[in-house]
């Protein structure tokens, strides 16, 4: 039983197979085209592989049972990621338009899906480029020895280190104070930091220059931005494996805990990671695919890109955890020798009488004979597992943990430069897809005069984004970025993806879609694709959406803040969001999601009014 909703006028809105064939043969199409297949693949790979693969996936892997996490990740990659990817590629290639154009062609009531994609791409681009500007800041500061985050500055009367730095660490201080100059709460905006505005300007300028002429310019940039990360990861892998303690990090990452498979949160996180990692529902992939020739084998492309994304996530996880293992071992050794030193001093023992192997036994015996002295020493406990699981996701991984590890390696500036160039390339190639997902719908919606060249659209987008992104250059900017990250890029994307599948399968019609694919690549999609498109993938996306929505709505929304005056310092303090933040959250998550039904309603009313006359 094929369920298809009535959709009058579809044939007038879309080009027929004959028309497409004619366009192909005569090359009369005025749309831009890829120079070669490699450019297209590199652009898609660059879009899919982003910062999340480096700093979110390894953390999820390690916290959800190590090697066991790969099982739900791979299962959901096959059942959720690849079918959606194939769907977006195929529909873009068939209808030869950006996201708004595609959904509008299928049905004018669905224009909202394209508009929602555009809004999400815009909002996410704002904070994503801010993170890239922070990466640039660290990159600019890497050209000096010693690295500025390796030492604490000295206080005014030069008797000791600045207290905020001495209590936390030099890397924490450099990140929270010298880079962000963060305030203690999101209400306390604190004014613009000129250096952050400057690096933000440089990030937006670089993005603009690369996206200047759409895929003509980005197609050239991706030769570097999509390949360089792999090279740098290889260099770090070789360097990492030669460092002491790296293997313990990799062991920690992959130690399987099969019990985690019973935990529904594991499957939820795996599904969400696959979904966000593939860059689905942003509109960028539909756009990129529409520049292909009509008979391009999009099925093969979808499978290849899925495999590449999955493998890259694993590869990056291994590299990251080898470096984390090294850092944890260094910290453990430092902690232990500090304790040994304190014991030697307190009991006036000979040099070398306590070392790493007999530390525990000596401590026990000393604790037995003179426990009060031991208490007075306040020896910190040196726990390797604790060091391995410290702050290892998100900006904390890149700007605190990894930078600390780099300071312990010889020739630190070199590793720092390489690392931040890699992060910049990863992020920039993802942003190309974002800009595509904003600019092309703007052109399709005819919001601005048609005579304006593409450079003007891109320039206007970058300029407006730069101005709005100044919010993130305030002292409270970091909290705003976290807010955007949590709300702008989660719920709306799930909504859009769900509607995409409903639109293609039930409004466009799965029969028509199958025939289109047969026309394009020569064979109909097999039973696996049918099952996933019609039932399995929509259900998975719906399940993730419901779970996310319920968890966000039921719990009290909190965030972590850096507050030097708090008692638990240097631990981050947990604060609740003020009331007015809920308005912002609604704008970020609610407006794009609600754009879908509201635009549909608007078009319906428009139609009725026209029909009435």
Partner 1 sequence: MSSAQIRLGTHFCFQYAWNENELYLFKAAVAYAMRQYYFTENGQQVNFTPENVETCNVTERVSFFFRVTDPKAAASIIPKADVEAAIRLSRGHINSAFLLSNDTLEFVGILSTLAPPIEPPVQVWLIVFGVVMGFVACVGVSSHRQRVSGQEEKIKKG
* Residue with Cβ nearer partner 1 (154 or 550): 154
Is the distance from CB of 224 to CB of 425 less than 8 angstroms?
yes
Nearest approach in angstroms of CB 455 to partner 1 is 8
| Tokens read off for 481 | 């970025």
d(CA 408, CA 397): 16
If binding is defined by CB under 8 A, does position 456 make contact with partner 1? no
If binding is defined by CB under 8 A, does position 345 make contact with partner 1? yes
Nearest approach in angstroms of CB 349 to partner 1 is 6
Of positions 113, 186, 199, 253, contacts partner 1 by CB under 8 A: 199
If binding is defined by CB under 8 A, does position 380 make contact with partner 1? no
**335, 385, 388, 397 from 329: Cα distances, Å:** 10, 10, 8, 16
d(CA 196, CA 209): 20
Of positions 340, 481, 505, 585, contacts partner 1 by CB under 8 A: 340
Q: Please, what's the largest Cα pairwise distance for the chain? A: 101
If binding is defined by CB under 8 A, does position 153 make contact with partner 1? yes
Unique residue bearing structure tokens 């192909």: 24
Beta-carbon count within 10 A of 25 CB:
9
If binding is defined by CB under 8 A, does position 191 make contact with partner 1? no
Nearest approach in angstroms of CB 141 to partner 1 is 5
SS3 for 576?
strand
* Residue with Cβ nearer partner 1 (221 or 285): 221
Q: What is the DSSP letter of 586?
A: I
Smallest Cα–Cα separation from 288: which of 7, 8, 47, 23?
Answer: 47
Asked whether residue 36 is marked as a ligand-binding residue, the answer is no
* Residue with Cβ nearer partner 1 (257 or 455): 455
d(CA 444, CA 286): 13
Is the distance from CB of 123 to CB of 488 less than 8 angstroms?
yes
Nearest approach in angstroms of CB 201 to partner 1 is 9
d(CA 68, CA 75): 12
If binding is defined by CB under 8 A, does position 158 make contact with partner 1? yes
Q: Give Cβ neighbours of residue 375 (< 8 Å, ≥ 6 apart).
A: none
Smallest Cα–Cα separation from 561: which of 484, 480, 447?
Answer: 480
If binding is defined by CB under 8 A, does position 341 make contact with partner 1? yes
* Residue with Cβ nearer partner 1 (238 or 373): 373
d(CA 120, CA 282): 7
| Tokens read off for 292 | 């292909």
If binding is defined by CB under 8 A, does position 198 make contact with partner 1? yes
Of positions 146, 376, 380, 578, contacts partner 1 by CB under 8 A: 146
Asked whether residue 389 is marked as a ligand-binding residue, the answer is no
Of positions 5, 38, 143, 191, contacts partner 1 by CB under 8 A: 143
If binding is defined by CB under 8 A, does position 70 make contact with partner 1? no
Asked whether residue 63 is marked as a ligand-binding residue, the answer is no
Asked whether residue 263 is marked as a ligand-binding residue, the answer is no
If binding is defined by CB under 8 A, does position 463 make contact with partner 1? no
Q: What is the DSSP letter of 589?
A: I
Q: Give Cβ neighbours of residue 247 (< 8 Å, ≥ 6 apart).
A: 241, 322, 325
Of positions 71, 140, 295, 485, contacts partner 1 by CB under 8 A: 140
Binding span for partner 1 by CB under 8 A among 247-255, 335-343, 497-505, 507-515? 335-343
If binding is defined by CB under 8 A, does position 496 make contact with partner 1? no
Nearest approach in angstroms of CB 403 to partner 1 is 15
Is the distance from CB of 502 to CB of 1 less than 8 angstroms?
no
Binding span for partner 1 by CB under 8 A among 31-39, 82-90, 207-215, 381-389? 207-215
* Residue with Cβ nearer partner 1 (338 or 522): 338
* Residue with Cβ nearer partner 1 (74 or 161): 161
Nearest approach in angstroms of CB 564 to partner 1 is 20
| Residues 350-369 contacting partner 1, CB under 8 A | 350-353
If binding is defined by CB under 8 A, does position 154 make contact with partner 1? yes
Binding span for partner 1 by CB under 8 A among 150-158, 283-291, 324-332, 518-526? 150-158
Which DSSP string corresponds to 368-428?
HH-HHHHHHHTPPP--HHHHHTSS-SHHHIIIIIIHHHHHTSSSHHHHHHHHHHHHHHHHH
d(CA 54, CA 309): 12
Of positions 27, 348, 360, 556, contacts partner 1 by CB under 8 A: 348
Asked whether residue 132 is marked as a ligand-binding residue, the answer is no
Which DSSP string corresponds to 479-503?
HHHHHHHHHTSSHHHHHHHHHHHHI
Of positions 5, 38, 209, 231, contacts partner 1 by CB under 8 A: 209
Nearest approach in angstroms of CB 22 to partner 1 is 23
- For the stretch 402-424, what's the b/e string if a residue is b when 16 or more beta carbons lie within 10 angstroms of its beta carbon? bbbbbbbbeebeebbbbbbbbbb
Of positions 8, 26, 159, 567, contacts partner 1 by CB under 8 A: 159
Beta-carbon count within 10 A of 88 CB:
29
SS3 for 358?
coil
| Tokens read off for 276 | 């966000």
Of positions 181, 189, 337, 514, contacts partner 1 by CB under 8 A: 337
If binding is defined by CB under 8 A, does position 141 make contact with partner 1? yes
Binding span for partner 1 by CB under 8 A among 93-101, 344-352, 566-574, 596-604? 344-352
d(CA 516, CA 391): 48
* Residue with Cβ nearer partner 1 (208 or 321): 208
If binding is defined by CB under 8 A, does position 139 make contact with partner 1? yes
If binding is defined by CB under 8 A, does position 67 make contact with partner 1? no
Nearest approach in angstroms of CB 448 to partner 1 is 19
If binding is defined by CB under 8 A, does position 202 make contact with partner 1? yes
d(CA 387, CA 381): 11
Which residues define the annotated binding site for Na(+)?
46, 53, 277, 426, 430
Residues lying near partner 1 in the complex (CB under 8 A): 137, 139-141, 143-144, 146, 151, 153-154, 158-161, 198-199, 202, 205-206, 208-209, 212-213, 217, 337, 340-341, 344-345, 348-353
């Amino acid at each position: 039983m094929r369920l298809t909703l009535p959709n009058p006028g579809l044939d007038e809105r879309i080009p027929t197979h004959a028309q497409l064939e004619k366009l192909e043969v005569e090359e009369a199409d005025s749309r831009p085209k890829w120079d070669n297949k490699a450019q297209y693949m590199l652009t898609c790979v660059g879009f899919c592989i982003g910062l999340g693969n480096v700093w979110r996936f390894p953390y999820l892997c390690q916290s959800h049972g190590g090697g066991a996490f790969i099982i739900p990740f791979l299962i959901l990659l096959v059942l959720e990621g690849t079918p959606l990817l194939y769907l977006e590629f195929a529909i873009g290639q068939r209808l030869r338009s950006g996201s708004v154009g595609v959904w509008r062609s299928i049905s004018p009531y669905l224009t909202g899906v394209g508009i929602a994609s555009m809004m999400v791409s815009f909002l996410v681009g704002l904070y994503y480029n801010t993170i890239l500007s922070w990466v640039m800041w660290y990159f600019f500061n890497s050209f000096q020895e010693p690295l500025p985050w390796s030492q604490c500055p000295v206080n005014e009367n030069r008797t000791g280190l600045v207290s905020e730095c001495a209590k936390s660490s030099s890397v924490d201080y450099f990140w929270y104070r010298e880079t962000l100059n963060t305030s203690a709460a999101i209400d306390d905006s604190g004014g613009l930091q000129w250096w952050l505005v400057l690096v933000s300007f440089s990030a937006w300028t670089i993005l603009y220059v690369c996206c200047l002429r759409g895929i003509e310019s980005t197609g050239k940039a991706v030769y570097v931005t999509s390949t360089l990360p792999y090279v740098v990861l290889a260099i770090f892998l070789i360097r990492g494996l030669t460092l002491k303690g790296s293997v313990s990090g990799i062991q920690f990452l992959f130690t399987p805990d099969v019990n985690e498979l019973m935990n529904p949160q594991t499957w939820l996180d795996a599904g969400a990671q696959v979904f966000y990692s593939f860059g689905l529902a942003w509109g960028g992939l539909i756009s990129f695919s529409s520049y292909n020739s009509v008979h391009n084998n999009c099925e093969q492309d979808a499978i290849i890109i899925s495999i590449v994304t999955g493998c890259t996530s694993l590869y990056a996880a291994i590299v990251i955890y080898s470096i984390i293992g090294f850092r944890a071992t260094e910290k453990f050794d430092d902690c232990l020798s500090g304790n040994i030193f304190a014991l030697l001093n307190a009991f006036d023992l000979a040099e070398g009488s306590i070392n790493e192997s007999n530390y525990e036994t000596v401590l026990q015996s000393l604790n037995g004979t003179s426990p009060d002295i031991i208490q007075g020493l306040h020896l910190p406990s040196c726990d390797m597992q604790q060091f391995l699981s410290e702050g290892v996701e998100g900006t904390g991984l890149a700007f605190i943990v990894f930078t600390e590890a780099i300071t312990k390696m010889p020739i630190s500036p070199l590793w720092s430069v390489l690392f931040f160039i890699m992060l910049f390339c990863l992020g920039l190639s993802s942003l190309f897809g974002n800009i595509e997902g904003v600019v092309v719908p703007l052109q399709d919606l005819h919001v601005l005069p048609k005579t304006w060249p593409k450079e003007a659209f891109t320039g206007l987008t970058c300029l407006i984004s730069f101005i709005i992104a100044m919010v993130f250059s305030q002292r409270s900017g970091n909290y705003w970025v976290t807010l955007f990250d949590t709300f702008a890029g989660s719920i709306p994307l799930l909504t859009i993806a769900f509607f995409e599948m409903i639109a293609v399968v039930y409004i466009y019609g799965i029969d028509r879609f199958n025939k289109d694919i047969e026309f394009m690549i020569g064979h109909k999609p097999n039973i696996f694709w049918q099952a996933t498109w019609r039932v399995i993938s929509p259900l998975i996306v719906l399940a993730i959406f419901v779970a996310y929505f319920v968890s966000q709505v039921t719990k009290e929304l909190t965030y972590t803040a850096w507050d030097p005056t708090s008692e638990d310092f240097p631990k981050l303090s947990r604060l609740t969001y003020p009331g007015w933040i809920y308005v912002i959250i609604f704008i970020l998550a609610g407006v794009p999601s609600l754009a879908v039904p509201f635009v549909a309603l608007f078009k319906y009313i428009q139609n009725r009014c026209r029909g009435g006359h």
